[in-house]
Structure 1
């Protein structure tokens, strides 16, 4: 079973994805993979989510497909069965944590407040998602968290752009970022997979300099 600490080392920029169909999802995931992005978060925000996870998992041996927007315990087992290798949630409950442990699905839980972080630490998490990053205080908030939570590491997600990603990745407590800028709606609608690959390549290069920090 791959650990979250290993996953963030492979993919310091993790695309957050939602698709209208399995065909669309598979095409986008292939384009991202061709651009060097090997870790994907496919959310359950649409009906196609589980089908895309299943299809994307078969693209290559070294692709790591995760399931996003986990909010209910029953979603965890279904995602694992579809081929998800890790889970991402917008928040954290004991029920969600227990379901992830029972399914053997490594979880990157969403946290936003100091109370959230205290709970995550009490459950044994060392890496959490900071969500929604931009709206919840961005870089200054993560800097403020470093004092009381020096051992916690973060994957900020929400409102991050290619321009602001380096500012997040430069922080000592940030190991990766999540974002949707690699799959602009216009490119997906036009089936411009070359543009998705180009943006993925840019994200991969951006992350390269920071990959060692997650070690």
Structure 2
């Protein structure tokens, strides 16, 4: 059953885009890396952190960040069902991001008062998300499904929708996405390179975060 749009006001995502132009999409293999990685991003001015559920370390990493770094806005990515949403909320996630959208996920997040950034890749998915009260959406996987030309094409029929494109975006292409009027922020994994995390190169990650924060002004 679709969520009643009139009852979904509490589900409007927190204004994550107001904190900066890039949301890091974080994959953590070792829980011990969670706090120093989050601290490195915070030092670079990146406050909103999307920790994915792609590894077993995801949930405990969210819990560690939520408990020890309250200044961070830690959320959960790769939410694909209601159980994911519930587990992440219990771990302390402050928002959820899904690769696609179903009313089950929307309803679960509504019940949890967990703000949701739903993923879409087609016009039909946008319409389904809009019907359930969501107008700030994640385009995923952005580059694979059409990227900038697709977002430009959607601007007219979906003028009430704003996007956070994620998937295949790099430091080189991010500014072009951010220049679009219907893009509020982008998601990217380039802020937390796997080799830098493995080696504990936190200064490098801080620098990448600083560069990402400067992207809006350059776009």
**Pairing 1:156–2:165 present:** yes
Helix, strand or coil for the counterpart of 1:150? Answer: coil
Q: Distance in 2 between matches of 1:82 and 1:37?
A: 21
Query: Which of 162, 174, 191 does residue 165 from structure 1 map onto?
Result: 174
Q: Distance in 2 between matches of 1:25 and 1:2?
A: 27
Alpha-carbon displacement from aligned partner over 1:80-137 (angstroms, at most 9, x marks no partner): 1111000000001111111000011000000000000110110111100000001111
Residue pairs, 1:126-205, within 5 angstroms: 126-205=135-214
5+ residue gaps, structure 1: 211-215
Find the counterpart in structure 2 of residue 213 from structure 1: none
8 Å contact from structure 1 (residues 86, 106) kept in 2: yes
Q: Post-superposition shift, 1:208?
A: 5.0
**Pairing 1:75–2:84 present:** yes
Q: Post-superposition shift, 1:8?
A: 1.4
8 Å contact from structure 1 (residues 2, 85) kept in 2: no
Q: Distance in 1 between matches of 2:131 and 2:156?
A: 18
Find the counterpart in structure 2 of residue 11 from structure 1: 20
Indicate the larger mover: 124-133 or 48-57. 48-57
8 Å contact from structure 2 (residues 164, 183) kept in 1: yes
Q: Post-superposition shift, 1:59?
A: 4.2
5+ residue gaps, structure 2: 1-9
TM-score by length of 2: 0.92
Query: Which of 43, 61, 72 does residue 52 from structure 2 map onto?
Result: 43
Residue pairs, 1:88-127, within 5 angstroms: 88-127=97-136
Taking a change above 3 Å as real, the CA distance of residues 3 and 36 of structure 1, as seen in their structure-2 partners, is farther
Taking a change above 3 Å as real, the CA distance of residues 43 and 52 of structure 1, as seen in their structure-2 partners, is same
Q: Distance in 2 between matches of 1:31 and 1:73?
A: 31
Query: Which of 189, 206, 212 does residue 215 from structure 2 map onto?
Result: 206
Q: Post-superposition shift, 1:209?
A: 6.1
Cα RMSD, aligned residues only: 1.5
Q: Post-superposition shift, 1:74?
A: 0.9
TM-score by length of 1: 0.93
Q: Distance in 2 between matches of 1:153 and 1:34?
A: 28
